[in-house]
Structure 1
């Protein structure tokens, strides 16, 4: 029998190691023999352990497995449709010896044998009871086993004993729940009995998802607490009665408890029934190993050399003033590659951090390099700096736009805007240059037109000469008839027109042969931001090939146009020669050449007619140029307001929502920039400037009208405004038309309130949530004392709940001196920092030292020399953090728990 139990113990623990089991409940029926034997004859017997587990490493792992006694009894209460007896489990703390449990609990329980007196629940009495049943009913088996099958006890008797001082806070009651409590009727005849039993339980034993959800009472907590006394978590085990089922629960529904493998660790599921226990196949923590910092090793003369492990959930660093809390966080941030200042405006502090990390190391959970990876690090005061009232819209953009870029549609929208800004301003400058060229051409044409003389005067002179020629012809004996004379006049006009066309064509040919026209592609450059170098090489090659092809095509087509113009010149000259050789033209020329007066008059007439033609042609060209100039100015205004239109399109698109926080965009007129430009260039006291100084934006159409009016008044023949002496009209006009006076601003709302209307503390909390909630990254989060940026109400009611939610998806490491964050947010790991001093000694008297542990770790051992090891984590929290005891009390009473 002894050898068989040795085999059982060996298989039990080796299988536990194989399945990575950290805690085992040893269940005994009405006794504690199994637990007692394993504890006293094996785990507390080094020689025996060495025999069963000769490998020292395995033996040490076995000894770390936490075992606890679970005594199962049968109640004399029957519930359910089949009136089944209730199996009642009492889990005891391992701090109680088996002897105390046996003598002060089991032997004080009583059971009723037949209709006789109550008997103590001892092995002897159970055996006697079994013997009586066997003799009366003929049951087979040992008397003890028969007795066990028939013994029942009352829950009242159990509770009376457990509530004595000997067991206070050292037991848990649970019952198996085989039915879905969310689906059963609570109005049956056994309602009172069933309710009474479930009220007594600390937790239920079930893997039924419906029951687990019902027990947590997510939407009716207060009502459930009133009816059943507290919120009940659910636990589950393999309930193995044979080796092959050992540590293999049905349907692989493993019970995962997030706590130290101790009795107090198990107690945590009562305080955090939703967060600390989970029944499922896979490990509840779904974070990727490459996104979790596993540990940090600080190596420096000021520090006790140690590797500080980190939890994948919430890690809080606490300690007294100047104990090295922020130093540790800063070292972790710097080792991850953060270049942010650890302490604002304190270069000496940052240099100290750099000195520490030069020999220190950080390890990621995946065990791979590189050490430096992305994190979200918020140094002390970083968040309040964003929230402070003196921060402008540019800082708001720095906060919001990186978050927008994580959404593809907004990223594309911002890229389109950036490309538009960079190209559109250049387009406006080019367009304004074109306007200036057209305006200058208009001036030159007007000067040329003025140089030709008065149109009315030339018309009068032509009329006078024509009369003189007419009178002279009437006196001539040898003359042309009327038809020949008309033909000759038409021929002269045609020759004058053709000569003008030749002159114009030659001028066009000359201009088209300018290098600036022929080499137009030589200055074309390509500038693309954000494209990788290797891709840019390919893009450059492709662009050069297109430019080369286009340049050749351009020259070819340009030469074709020049060839066509030369052909027109040749045709025109041929036409002139043809006219001059015509018999009528030759006769008329010969006839009028003999008459000197006629020749002079005819020459004068031709000259004046030429001037008139120039005036008419130049006037038409001027009219066309004026129209082009006006159109160019209108295009400038139209293109200028495209700033508004493009920005408005983007604003209308932006609508990001995450829970109760939303981000929207709106377009605003940058009146301060507009007024700054006006005040820089325009005299403020001049009455003719009042209209431009008094402008206030209302809508796009009135703005467009205003800009056009200002540009017209600036650029008309005589400027309608009074400018400062150092200012030129072109400088003002170009800056005005190329400047974007509109700005995209972002509105942040939290629970219906605009960020601008919030207190600084609430702003900071909302900004923290923005930075984390709207980011798709799951990098570790490092925060230094967030409570410095927030008010107390925000800390407890909002930040704490937020941290509880966020730590499930991202590793969080934060420095804090607020117990509500440590305890209220249920930190998975607490790191206690200490600076060496009198009564605060560190190992090796090093200046800084750290110790880590779970919230539930509790002990007092003042024999230890080092302060960090004199107390458990709970005691350190209560000692270091003001209000620590209250924080634990609030946590432990929130579900109305009582022993």
Structure 2
């Protein structure tokens, strides 16, 4: 009975050296020592001192198994102390025809060590070599007899005669094939490997690449083809050979199978003929095999030649330890679970079992221990209340880096690890929703599991948020300026235009002048009076202009300071050219050289500081306060000079009224000029704010487009014929103006309809719309003198403007398989594609836990798509899956199968047995036991459990064995 505790994590990567010779090898015995005893002692010492962690060795010799038994004996008695999981016999034989270098073709027969005692009689004794009218088998005594009948060898001792016989012994490929055809069990326990060296391998008949790539034929091609089609594997570390025989080279899978009979793995060994080469393959090209170190494990490489064997220096598929669950353990003082510990593989772990066997409970317990928040949310969606555990029950998840999560510790702040948990029927839940909005949310959440994409997305989303906030601030400023401008404009209109007031003042002054002629003032006095009045009017006008100039200069200074901050804070490398003004463009050209960017920004900063200092100095130089005081003093002085003249005019009431009126109009004139100056400043602010807003609207749109482009460039291909496409949508129902418009009053050819295409907003026209001087007159939004949009009642300009600048963009995702949109697929196919989305879009490294994803899925699509995707994804992240589908377990080449069972449902438990029991191991773990004293799980191996529990399990194994072969 096989041991369930020996290989606790299923199929794992180990170093195998399947080609190593020993002292007394029949050819090229270059091992150190004066005699065989000394050679074996030195050999054992070299092996013991080797630091290489070799799990399996293939002890090799020509037409002999004697040295294999010697090696095993030295291991059994402790002379060779290095521990090997398996030692297997590798008999190297030579077959005709002769190669280009005049040497036979070397073929290796790797035998199951379980039949090592049968090899002498069932294989070596059946080989036949004809010489001098006699036939010779490959048994030791026959090889010695052959060696002595060769010319000049009659007096050789046994050892020399044996080597002589071996050196001449060559068989035909047909005779070798006949032996295995007659002994099928022997063939089942043999892996035939052809050497691919140019001197003694099958490629030596003609160059290997020439043979497979060239269209020409040679007379020996038929023999070569028969050798390849008879073989199971290749001895070669050449990368081109590895690629070719696994259909990743110039020929596709069907062509390789047609030529060679199957895809084939490439093995490698040190081929040591001296102590220095022991476990030191050329170029450190070790043979890594992912399997139990058993003969059945080695056979898995024939079914999975690409994924089960690698020729390289370092271990394949190494994952970050903090993203790998190492083991699961129950802690139960009752007899339900006990303290069972289950070890996990770094790649794919499948939990199988009958109904109510504890499959889902095991996965749920692991997920709840790691991420209770995610599990609770998923359970709530599915109306699943979870499992009711006893207070004494606990569950522990141990990670490869030593971290531990427990079920009872539900403090979220202590949870250091993440997973994706897809509970049973969750895929069904998504399928039944069949909701576009739900799909978009799902895909976004999956995308965000990729830390690189999340960093990119969060950065762009932050920039979009900042841009929207800036737009909001500018809009508020715009509305304030507009409100203030309207108030001042109303006052200005009530007061009148300054030029009209000035014309009126001129008419009053003329009337006063005419009246003065009739007064008692002399001509000289009247002229002096007029001069003083004119001078006073000029000074008062200067005072108004000076105050306006002061306000403008202060505003310019503030704008320069603001522009300095904005310019130096802009990230120019991410702005589209159409968003830049002339200054931005020039700065971009100046800053194209990365080394000068900092200098230029420092220079800009210094220039702005200089400009601000100059403006402040200019304001100081003008001396507004002092000048205004001087003007007012001059006006007071003029008033004192005018007093005598005004006394002479005291009796002239009409002239006095006109003078008073002139003074009043002068004040109005000053106010009108001031209002007009303010209105102009506000209009400039109005236009400036609007231009900045238009730029920001375009910038926000460009940022969204960057996200869309990034997704389509990096995430588009999900799997074979499955594609993800992202679009940026602005639906017209989300555009406030679409709702605000009085569509009943709008004709089909109206400007309003040009803003839309189908059901979407043509967003390129939105900034253009906003750039117009929008206003509402008679419930119409005036866009231009010739264009206005009818509005519903009581729609204000603020609501319109806020609607235009609002962010209502949507990232819309479309998933298709063979051109069919996901939302239009059958439920089974849709569920399969959704599951692939979970597996493929996310490039996160943390584990994914899936509970029976195949429920209601399309079985053909599962095999065609899902199995391939899982096989690929398990190399990148650990997967734990509960399944009752044979294809999901076998066709995915699951590394570790966990079998669950509920012992004696409804019956009393036997002593020492827990109600729920789990065993685990690899697909190659196989045995059958007649014992009934053990529990059900212990009575057979993993392979047998898979065939018993999973419908179609036996056929799934056969299909897996046939998929790369026609043999």
TM-score (norm 2): 0.73
What secondary structure does 1:822 align onto?
helix
Structure 1 residue matching 2:701: 3-state secondary structure: helix
Structure 1 partner of 2:396: 360
1:818 paired with 2:885, answer: yes
The number of equivalent residue pairs is 830
SS of the counterpart of 2:905?
A: coil
1:191 aligns with 2:210: no
Aligned to 1:306: 340
Q: Secondary structure at the match of 1:283?
A: coil
**Which of these residues, 690, 695, 703, is aligned with residue 650 of structure 1?**
703
- Structure 1 range deviating more: 836-845 or 424-433: 836-845
Moved more, 781-790 or 412-421: 781-790
Partner of 1:254: 286
- Tell me the distance in 1 between the aligned counterparts of 2:325 and 2:451: 27
**SS of aligned partner of 2:632:** helix
1:672 is matched with which residue?
Answer: 733
Q: Quote the RMSD (CA, aligned, Å).
A: 4.9
State the 1:815 CA deviation.
2.5
Q: Which residue of 2 aligns with 1:838?
A: 905
CA distance in 2, matches of 1:466, 1:249: 118
Q: 1:491 aligns with which of 532, 535, 558?
A: 532
When residues 715 and 327 of structure 1 are mapped into structure 2, their CA distance, relative to the original with a 3 A threshold, is farther
- What's 1:67 paired with? 87
Aligned partners of 2:680 and 2:339: how far apart in 1? 83
- CA distance in structure 1 between the partners assigned to 2:744 and 2:494 by the alignment: 35
1:854 aligns with 2:922: yes
Cα deviation for residue 355 of structure 1 reads 7.5
* 1:883-898 alignment, distance < 5 Å: 883-898=952-967
Query: Which structure 2 residues correspond to residues 573-722 of structure 1 after superposition, within 5 A?
Result: 573-582=632-641, 585=642, 588-593=645-650, 596=651, 598=652, 600-623=653-676, 638=691, 641-642=694-695, 644-653=697-706, 654-655=709-710, 656-658=713-715, 660-661=717-718, 666-675=727-736, 697-698=756-757, 699-700=762-763, 703=766, 711-713=774-776
- The offset of 1:273, in angstroms, is 0.9
Q: Which residue of 2 aligns with 1:25?
A: 58
> Unaligned regions of 5+ residues in structure 2, if any?
1-34, 406-413, 570-604, 783-788
* In structure 2, distance between residues paired with 1:663 and 1:674: 27
Pick closer, same or farther for the CA change 1:633–1:359 going to 2, 3 Å: same
8 Å Cα contact 1:820/1:887 also seen in 2: yes
1:217-254 residue CA offsets vs partner (Å, 9 max, x unmatched): 33332223223322222212223344443322233222
CA distance, structure 2, for counterparts of residue 691 and residue 356 of structure 1: 75
In 2, are the aligned partners of 1:783 and 1:815 still within 8 Å (CA)?
yes
Instruction: State the distance in 1 between where 2:781 and 2:308 align.
Output: 82
Question: How far is 1:202 from its partner?
Answer: 1.1
Confirm whether residue 210 of structure 1 aligns to residue 240 of structure 2: yes
* Contact 2:58-2:89 at 8 Å conserved across structures: yes
1:436 partnered with 2:483: yes
Aligned counterpart for 2:299 among listed residues 260, 264, 267: 267
Question: Alpha carbons of 1:435 and 1:80: their partners in 2 closer, same or farther (altered >3 Å)?
Answer: same
- How far apart are the structure 2 equivalents of 1:262 and 1:795? 31
The equivalent of 2:13 in structure 1 is none
Instruction: Choose which of 941, 946, 950 in structure 2 pairs with 1:881.
Output: 950
* 1:332-481 to 2 correspondences below 5 Å: 332-337=366-371, 339-341=373-375, 343-345=378-380, 349-350=385-386, 359-364=395-400, 366-367=401-402, 373-380=416-423, 388-392=433-437, 393=440, 396-400=443-447, 403=450, 406=453, 412-447=459-494, 470=514, 473-474=517-518, 476=519, 478-481=520-523
Q: Which residue is equivalent to 2:125?
A: 107
**8 Å contact 1:842–1:848 — kept in the other structure?**
no
Q: Distance in 1 between matches of 2:780 and 2:647?
A: 51
Q: Take 2:310 and 2:893, find their aligned partners in 1: how far apart are those partners?
A: 16
Question: How far apart in 2 are the matches of 1:687 and 1:142?
Answer: 109
- 1:274-309 per-residue CA deviation (whole Å, 9 max, x = no partner) reads 111122222223333343332232323542423222
8 Å CA contact 2:370, 2:419 repeated in 1: no
Q: Is the 8 A contact 2:474 2:689 kept in 1?
A: no
Q: Residues 671 and 759 from structure 1, CA distance in 2 versus in 1: closer, same or farther, beyond 3 angstroms?
A: farther
- Residue in 2 that maps onto 1:787: 854
Residue 893 of structure 1: CA displacement? 0.6
User: 1:81 is matched with which residue: 100, 109, 114?
Assistant: 100
* In structure 2, C-alpha distance between the alignment counterparts of 1:90 and 1:286, rounded to whole Å: 32
Cα separation, partners in 2 of 1:835 and 1:730, compared to 1, 3 Å: farther
Is the contact made by 1:842 and 1:867 (CA closer than 8 Å) also made in structure 2?
no
Is this contact kept in 1: 2:124–2:139, CA < 8 A?
yes
**1:406 partner SS:** helix
CA separation of 1:606/1:737 partners in 2, compared to 1, >3 Å: closer, same or farther? farther
| CA 1:420–1:562: 2 relative to 1, 3 Å | same
1:800 aligns with 2:844: no
Cα contact 1:784–1:814 (8 A) shared by 2: yes
Determine helix, strand or coil for the equivalent of 1:787: coil
Q: Deviations over 1:648-693 (max 9, x none)?
A: 3124432423573576654433422335x875x78898999x9999
TM-superposed deviation, 1:764: 5.8
Partner of 1:96: 115
* 8 Å Cα contact 2:485/2:682 also seen in 1: yes
Deviation track 1:298-341 (CA, whole Å, cap 9, x = no partner) reads 32354242322222222222223343333333333344446312
Distance 1:618 1:798, change over 3 A: same
- Helix, strand or coil: the match of 1:22? strand
Secondary structure (helix, strand or coil) at the match of 1:212 reads helix
Quick check: 2:268–2:287 contact (8 Å CA) kept in 1? yes
Equivalent residue for 1:572, pick from 625, 631, 634: 631
What does residue 349 of structure 2 align with? 315
- Counterpart CA distance in 1 for 2:619 and 2:756 is 52
- Counterparts of 2:837 and 2:700 in 1: how far apart (Å)? 23
Shift in Å, 1:156: 2.8
Query: CA contact under 8 A between 1:684 and 1:693: conserved in structure 2?
Result: no
SS at match of 1:416: helix
Contact 1:315 1:813 in 2 (8 A): yes
Aligned to 1:153: 171
Assess, with a 3 A threshold, how the Cα gap between structure 1 residues 488 and 770 changes in structure 2: closer, same or farther: farther
* Shift in alpha-carbon separation, 1:761–1:460, aligned structure 2, 3 A: same
- 8 A contact 1:130–1:143 mirrored in 2: yes
Which residue of structure 2 aligns with residue 132 of structure 1? Answer: 149
Change (3 A) 1:243 1:715: farther
1:863 corresponds in structure 2 to 931
Structure 1 residue 740, shift from structure 2 partner: 2.9
User: Could you tell me how far 1:797 is from its partner in structure 2?
Assistant: 1.8
CA positional deviation for 1:641:
4.4
Report if aligned partners of 2:86, 2:293 keep a CA contact under 8 Å in 1.
Answer: yes
- Cα distance change on mapping 1:265 and 1:465 into 2, 3 Å: closer
Q: Give the stretch that moved more between structures: 143-152 or 634-643.
A: 634-643
Deviation per CA, 1:189-230, whole angstroms, max 9, x where unpaired?
433333322322111222233333332333332223223322
Deviation at 1:575?
Answer: 0.9
Q: 1:326 aligns with which of 350, 360, 371?
A: 360
Write the distance in 2 (CA, Å) between the matches of 1:769 and 1:138.
Answer: 73
